[in-house]
Structure 1
Amino acid sequence: MKAERRSQAVDRKREEQTVLVIGGSGGMSSRYRDVVEKHGWSLRHYENRVPPGARHGVGRIALIVIMVTMVSHALRDQMQSLAADGAPVVYLRSASVSALRAAIEQRSA
């Protein structure tokens, strides 16, 4: 019974955390979301720019993923303000779902 409660508390804590994906392909957002939500986190995907006030609606950031082959310098610079809380940042060479999955699985292990 205690283990079940502890597990539910861990699940709730994870649900309150967000993975930011910076860059990548807008057409892949739903697939990126599937990967992130499978591990109990929520997703915010910023393909072109981070909108004003986005920091306030993000919540606790579990991980920031930057897809370097598909990100502008301006967007990368905007990400730095989002990483102010010390959230880990992962740089991916590929904008593929499998690359994101590998990064998420490594972080959630």
Structure 2
Amino acid sequence: MVHPNDTRAGDTVILVGGCGGLSRRYGEVVAERGLALRHFETRVPSGARHALGRVAAVFVVVGMVSHALRDRVKDLAPSGTRVVYLRTASVSALRAAVGDLAARRSAA
């Protein structure tokens, strides 16, 4: 769901790691804030850079991602993109992080 007063609709949030079975729920949580989700659980497909659009933030699930994948995804995002490390792969952890991102964006 895109909020009509969200002037930055279309921005993308990248999630690295996490649980593939929760991808749909992750996407719903991000969409509640008018953002799109790109979830990379185990690898980054070739050509991913061109499909990302504007990147609002990169979320990394600490215990469920290789360092190589984390670094590859961080290299896809523009310099200065906010990188947030999540302790768990839970939907509630992502919801809290996206809520914090939305609060920071509206304050800016």
Shorter-chain TM-score tier: 0.7 to 0.9
Q: TM-score, normalised by structure 1?
A: 0.86
User: CA-atom RMSD, angstroms?
Assistant: 1.5
- Aligned counterpart, 2:30: 36
Question: Identity percentage over the alignment?
Answer: 54
Which SS does the other structure have where 1:86 is aligned? coil
Q: TM-score, normalised by structure 2?
A: 0.86
- Aligned counterpart, 1:86: 80
Residue pair 2:30, 2:37 contacting (<8 A) in 1 also: yes
Amino acid at match of 1:62: A
Q: What is the CA–CA distance in structure 1 between the aligned matches of 2:24 and 2:73, rounded to whole Å?
A: 21
Q: What is the CA–CA distance in structure 1 between the aligned matches of 2:10 and 2:38, rounded to whole Å?
A: 13
Which SS does the other structure have where 1:44 is aligned? strand
How many residue pairs are counted as aligned between the two chains?
Answer: 101
- Which structure 2 segments of 5+ residues have no match? 104-108
More helix by percentage: 1
Amino acid at match of 2:22: M
The structure number with the bigger radius of gyration is: 1
- Aligned counterpart, 1:49: 43
Alpha-carbon deviations, 1:49-103, whole Å to 9, x = none? 1111101110000111000111012211211212333210100110100000000
- 1:62 aligned to 2:56? yes
Shift of 1:16: 1.6
- Which structure 1 segments of 5+ residues have no match? 1-6
Amino acid at match of 2:57: L
